[in-house]
Chains A and B, each alone.
Chain A
Amino acid sequence: MVKYNDHPLYCFLNPEEKNLLKTIVKSQSFMAHETIINLGERNRDIICLEEGSVSIQVEDFEGNVNEVTRIHSGNLVGEMNFIIPTRRTANVVALTFVEADIIPFAKLCALLKEQPLLAEKIFSALSLQLRDKYLGMINA
């Protein structure tokens, strides 16, 4: 499989496949401090951070907000929720102006069902992201 670039989701897609995916992608901007994802939501969209940084935050039992990590442009948010059906497990808040590609869960599933080669390439890209997350945890 040819890797065209280092994009977290589009890295294996040729220009035609990228255009096909773009038909379902919604580009959205967020201002600093704006909430992008709320803890507990059932939304399973994948979010590609094209520009800016976000804070991943959880609340403790007393309601104090704790930052778990920060994610910067060139990375995905919510990819595990796309694969495993759970509620959102953290709040995601923009730290800066954020430009994001939002890939809607239902539309992506429908497209991937129709396009197995696209599915293979998207799943492979997700696999590299998950691998890096796993390696980061075992090496911590």
Chain B
Amino acid sequence: MNIYIRTQDSDLFKYLSDAQYALILAKTEAIAFEPSDIVLAKASLPESFIILQEGELELTGNKYLGSLFPGEYYGEIFYLEPFLSPITIKAVKPSKVLILKFSAVNELIANDPIFASRIQAAINDSLCLKIIQLTHGSING
């Protein structure tokens, strides 16, 4: 994003100050997954961001949609207006995931537009990159 500078490694928290990062990290819950474990089931109603810390996750819908690597996350498409997931996310390696509930984010950013705009800017970056990845995937077959 053009108006903020990246300050954190994690893609969702990239534009947060150290103090904001500490606040939001305290709201996360770490969960371990083994290969082939389902992290997000298709047709479930997502309530959280899924932030990958270690390992690798695979996204599938009607076809392979990409992979998540440490520092990347999923759930941004459900954040503003939740709906049933059109995709499944599965662990392909032993993975450690941070779960961050949308409701926890909303509590933190309520009445704090600086915090909110920085989270939203990171979400837009991620959506653009996912669109670009899919575009390249379709071009390259």
What residues make up the interface of A, taking CB atoms closer than 8 Å to B?
1, 44, 80, 82-85, 105, 109, 112-113, 116-117, 119-120, 123-124, 126-128, 130-131, 133-135, 137-139
Contacts and interface: CB of A to CB of B under 8 A. Distances in A.
B56 interface: no
A13 B64 CA distance: 37
Given A124-B80, A127-B127, A116 B117 contact: yes
A83 B77 contact: no
B120 A138 contact: no
A134 B65 CA distance: 11
B125 A109 contact: no
* Chain B interface SS verdict (over half): helix
Contacts of B134: 134, 137-138
A130 B131 CA distance: 8
Interface of B: 1-3, 61-62, 65, 76-77, 79-81, 86-87, 113-114, 116-117, 120-121, 123-125, 127-132, 134-135, 138
Contacts of A138: 61-62, 65, 86-87, 134
Q: Give the dominant DSSP class at A's interface.
A: helix
A2 to B, nearest CB: 12
Contacts, number: 84
A84 B128 contact: yes
A134 B120 contact: no
A76 B80 CA distance: 19
Given A105-B2, A127-B80, A134 B130 contact: yes
A84 B131 CA distance: 11
B131 A80 contact: yes
Contacts of A120: 113, 116-117, 120
Contacts of A82: 2
B139 to A, nearest CB: 11
Q: Which of B76, B123, B131 has the most CB of A within 10 A?
A: B131
Contacts of A84: 125, 128-129, 132
B18 to A, nearest CB: 19
B102 to A, nearest CB: 13
A131 B76 CA distance: 8
A123 B116 CA distance: 10
16 contacts: A44-B2, A82-B2, A84-B128, A85-B2, A116-B114, A119-B113, A119-B120, A119-B121, A123-B124, A124-B80, A130-B128, A133-B131, A134-B134, A135-B77, A137-B131, A138-B87
